[in-house]
Structure 1
Amino acid sequence: MKSNITKAAMVVTLLGASSQLFAQDTTPDATGRFGKKEFRTWSIGAHAGVLSSNTIFNGANRDYNSAREALGYGGYIKKQILPALGLQADFLAGKVKGSGQFNPLGTPQYFGSNTTFETHLEWSAALTAVYNLANISINNENAVLIPYVKGGVGYMSSGAENSNGTTTVQNHYKDGYFIPVGAGFKLGVAKGINLDFGYDVNFTKTAEFDGLNTGKFDKFSYGHAGIEFALGSKSKPQLQNYSSLANLRNESAEESAALRNALSTAEQKAARDREIYAKEMGDDDGDGVANKFDKCPGTPAGTVVDGSGCPFVAVAPIIKEKIIITEADRKVVSEAIKNLEFDLGKATIRDKSFPTLNRVAALLVEKNFSLKLAGHTDNTGSMALNLRLSKDRAEAVKAYLVSQGANASRIEAVGYGPNQPIATNKTAAGRQQNRRVEFTLY
């Protein structure tokens, strides 16, 4: 009863440790290529084959000379972490047999030649790491051939029976650790289904696996064939079968197609741009102005055009007539200045000033002169009053001259008030001189 409890506890411990490791999600990289959402990472498998005391590591120091092959069987559950690496919980059971001469040193005396042993492997559980050496496929991302190696650690329960034909010794079941290593390959026969062919060597940590406590630790082999099924959505590929080479080729093909499409689009756009450029920047009428900027398209050949493409209209040069002011002209203006009088403190021209102003108006009409009228006052009164009075008197003269036919646009009237005196304002005679309207012909 105690032995059965111990066995069950070991199995639970191994399966628990494996489930904790398997519970870790595959961490996707920046592109999400290896994320759990992209692939099926869990699988289960079953296998059967031949258990043998012969291994590829057998030497001269053996308890039994000949192996007697027997049936073995098992299964596993696997978590794929990367395309090349997975963790696997294995189960194996069956019988290991052997016969022939053995070294009787230290063994019961009733054993001799032609003895046999039969070890019943009641159960074994192991946690192994499986490394895929390659995912061989060129045109398909789901690999067809997957060679692998594996290794790990396990725990088993076994009992041996030894016999020389007349006497049989039954050993009790013993538990112990063992180290499984192996190699094999898988064939992908369908999406998520693989055939599994492998060869394992199990190194026990005891010399009594075959019932004899002699020599070095015992070992046994297991050649097997089986089948594996990926768990999860059938629409997703199995991560174990993922071929990065094929994926790289497919990605390269997609990128190449995308580049070709982009190049074709760019060439079409360039052709449209050239067509638009030829249409807008061409010069259909040959006038030297691009169509885009030609406001008068279709001008006759040889036509001189301006910057907008329209026929150039020559503007006749403006010949400015030279104005000559004679002494007689100046005398007319001088007499008008001398005879110009206003009512006191007002801009009203007195009648005696009109005859000389009439001659100035006639001179302006005849010779098209321009005239500047500048009003001035003495410093009697406020500045504001004097500025307004000087301006009003100049305007009064302008208004009279215009009424006599002079061109208003050629007469300028300004007022300076007392700011430009020509005599002192301390005397009545000086103030009289400062109250004036100056006429300037030009």
Structure 2
Amino acid sequence: MKSNLFKSLPVILAGLFAGTAAMAQEPASTATPFRTWSIGVNAGVLTPLSPLGGKNDFSNNKSSLGYGLYIKKQFTPYFSLRLDGVRGKLKGDNAEAYESGLVNNSPVRAFDTELQYSGTLNAVVNLFNIDMFKKENVLQLYTSVGAGLAGYKPTITTAAGTSLYAGDKTISELIIPVGLGAKFKISDGVNFDLGWTITYVDGDNLDGYYRGSNDKYNYAYAGLEFAIGKGKQLAFHNPVAATYDEALAAKNAANALKGDLDAQKAENARLRSDLNSLLTDTDGDGVADKLDKCPGTPSATVVDGAGCPLKTPEKVVEKVVVTEEDRKVVAEAIKNLEFDLNKATIRSKSFASLNRVAALLVQKNFSLKLAGHTDNTGSDALNLRLSKARAESVKAYLVSQGANASRIEATGYGEAQPIATNKTAAGRQKNRRVEFTLY
């Protein structure tokens, strides 16, 4: 069942190649600016042991030819996923003593295992770029780790010289490869790849001899990697250097803008100096010195557009003459003025005399002061409001008859200015009044 995976591996690879070719044929407007897909081929040495230590089933492990193929997708400059397939042979015998000096008394003299397939999916991490200020480097170190399946058939030779097969079927085991390598960019599309992978097998069947510890093998290889598509390879792109270049460009742009700003400031200072010179007004008359034909004008002097004093005509004050007849008209209005009880409403019997006052104001352009007064009945605040309201009511009536509102002043004094005693009804009647003063 597990061996079917290797049989389907060519189909998977063909599908990935087809997808890669389709991406490479995309229009330039939608294609990525970097090459992110690549394929690689390699060949090297397979050895059935781990140099990192552990128990080895055979004292003399031999190196044999191995070869591999992979396809890789680069997601960032530092990370990619790689689908690897490796084949080859693993050999070893007990012709020598162990390095510890122990006598090799194994019942198995030698083994020859055909690694029919190993398919793994590996995460590959680029460790660093050699030159952090170079946008594309030619040397790159990387490490990888992954998991997958290996299918193999071991053949063992016993101490008596008999060759035995471990089984007719291919043995499939889980494997975990851990590797590191160095990649050299030959051109934009071709890299030289040196790598070394140690593969740990989840079983003790690889060499056909069970000793109770998991088997392992390593693969040291050299090969070529071919980037697919157009543009630079994302794996060799150095974002640190690109960011540095962008920062440097931004700094240069900022310096250029600063130079423009300094030049603009200098121009503004020159214009400000010219403007200050143009607007200088030494005598403070509102006319700049360059246009002032009468410099040294005294402060607060009204000047014309040339800065020279204006000749103002003397103001003619019209003399207001109030005759005895005028006073009689006002006195009659005062005498006939009546309001509704505790209100500012003028009674109609007062209209005739008020009409004559309004006509007098219009005819002679008099000014009139209206002063409202009350007796001491009620609160001070109420009396003040009532006196003010009655004075305003008289003013409103006179204005309605054509008098100039700006020449009429209405004031309320409440009970503060009595002209008779408030102890009698007659006195209180006299105190409830609106006084008219012509001027």
TM-score interval, smaller chain: 0.5 to 0.7
Distance 2:205 2:358 in 1: 139
Give the corresponding residue for 1:256. Answer: 251
Give the corresponding residue for 2:202. Answer: 205
Give the corresponding residue for 1:87. Answer: 81
Give the corresponding residue for 2:171. Answer: 174
Alpha carbons 1:95, 1:118 under 8 Å: kept: yes
Give the corresponding residue for 1:359. Answer: none
Sequence identity percentage? 24
Distance 1:386 1:319, change over 3 A: closer
Distance 1:298 1:415 in 2: 50
Give the corresponding residue for 1:155. Answer: 149
Q: Can you list the C-alpha shifts for 1:113-133, whole angstroms capped at 9, x where unaligned?
A: xxx533211111112222221
Distance 1:165 1:41, change over 3 A: farther
Whether 2:40 is the aligned partner of 1:45: answer yes
Distance 2:355 2:294 in 1: 64
SS in 2 for 1:297: coil
Structure 2: 5+ residue runs without aligned partners? Answer: 20-30, 97-102, 337-347, 371-393, 399-435
Alpha carbons 1:46, 1:74 under 8 Å: kept: yes
Cα drift, residue 140 of structure 1: 3.0
Cα drift, residue 319 of structure 1: 9.9
Task: Give 2:354's match in structure 1, choosing from 387, 394, 397.
Answer: 387
Distance 1:268 1:318 in 2: 57
Aligned alpha-carbon RMSD (Å): 4.5
SS in 2 for 1:384: helix
Give the corresponding residue for 1:287. Answer: 282
Cα drift, residue 198 of structure 1: 0.5
Amino acid at match of 2:4: A
Cα drift, residue 384 of structure 1: 3.2
Distance 2:362 2:314 in 1: 32
Residue pairs, 1:41-440, within 5 angstroms: 41-58=36-53, 61-67=56-62, 69-101=63-95, 105=105, 107=107, 111=109, 116-163=110-157, 167-172=162-167, 173-214=170-211, 216-232=213-229, 234-235=230-231, 237-283=232-278, 287=282, 294=287, 297-299=290-292, 302-304=295-297, 310-313=306-309, 369-373=319-323, 374=326, 375-376=329-330, 377=332, 382-389=349-356, 412=366
Distance 1:42 1:249, change over 3 A: same
Give the corresponding residue for 1:334. Answer: none
Q: More displaced, 199-208 or 370-379? A: 370-379
Q: TM-score of the superposition, structure 1-length normalised? A: 0.61
Report which of the two structures shows the higher radius of gyration computed on alpha carbons: 1
Distance 1:157 1:216 in 2: 19
Distance 1:289 1:41, change over 3 A: farther
Cα drift, residue 139 of structure 1: 3.5
Alpha carbons 2:49, 2:215 under 8 Å: kept: no
Distance 1:125 1:302, change over 3 A: same
Cα drift, residue 200 of structure 1: 1.0
Distance 1:301 1:369 in 2: 38
Alpha carbons 1:78, 1:86 under 8 Å: kept: yes
Distance 2:173 2:84 in 1: 16
Aligned residues: 332
Cα drift, residue 312 of structure 1: 4.3
Q: Can you list the C-alpha shifts for 1:388-414, whole angstroms capped at 9, x where unaligned?
A: 345557888x6xxxxxxxxxxxx7498
Give the corresponding residue for 2:375. Answer: none
Amino acid at match of 1:209: L
Distance 1:167 1:185 in 2: 43
Amino acid at match of 2:83: A
Alpha carbons 1:387, 1:415 under 8 Å: kept: no
Distance 1:101 1:301, change over 3 A: farther
Cα drift, residue 53 of structure 1: 3.0
Alpha carbons 1:15, 1:89 under 8 Å: kept: no
Structure 1: 5+ residue runs without aligned partners? Answer: 24-35, 322-367, 399-410, 420-437
SS in 2 for 1:133: strand
Alpha carbons 2:281, 2:289 under 8 Å: kept: no
Alpha carbons 1:54, 1:220 under 8 Å: kept: yes
Distance 2:202 2:216 in 1: 9
Alpha carbons 1:73, 1:93 under 8 Å: kept: yes
Distance 1:104 1:394 in 2: 145
Distance 1:301 1:37, change over 3 A: farther
Distance 1:385 1:15, change over 3 A: farther
Distance 1:392 1:221, change over 3 A: closer
Give the corresponding residue for 2:407. Answer: none
Alpha carbons 2:282, 2:289 under 8 Å: kept: no
Amino acid at match of 2:351: A
Amino acid at match of 2:309: V
Distance 2:367 2:161 in 1: 157
Cα drift, residue 215 of structure 1: 6.5
Alpha carbons 1:125, 1:155 under 8 Å: kept: yes
Cα drift, residue 305 of structure 1: 7.4
Q: TM-score of the superposition, structure 2-length normalised? A: 0.61
Cα drift, residue 12 of structure 1: 5.2
Cα drift, residue 136 of structure 1: 2.7
SS in 2 for 1:6: coil
Cα drift, residue 134 of structure 1: 0.9
SS in 1 for 2:273: helix
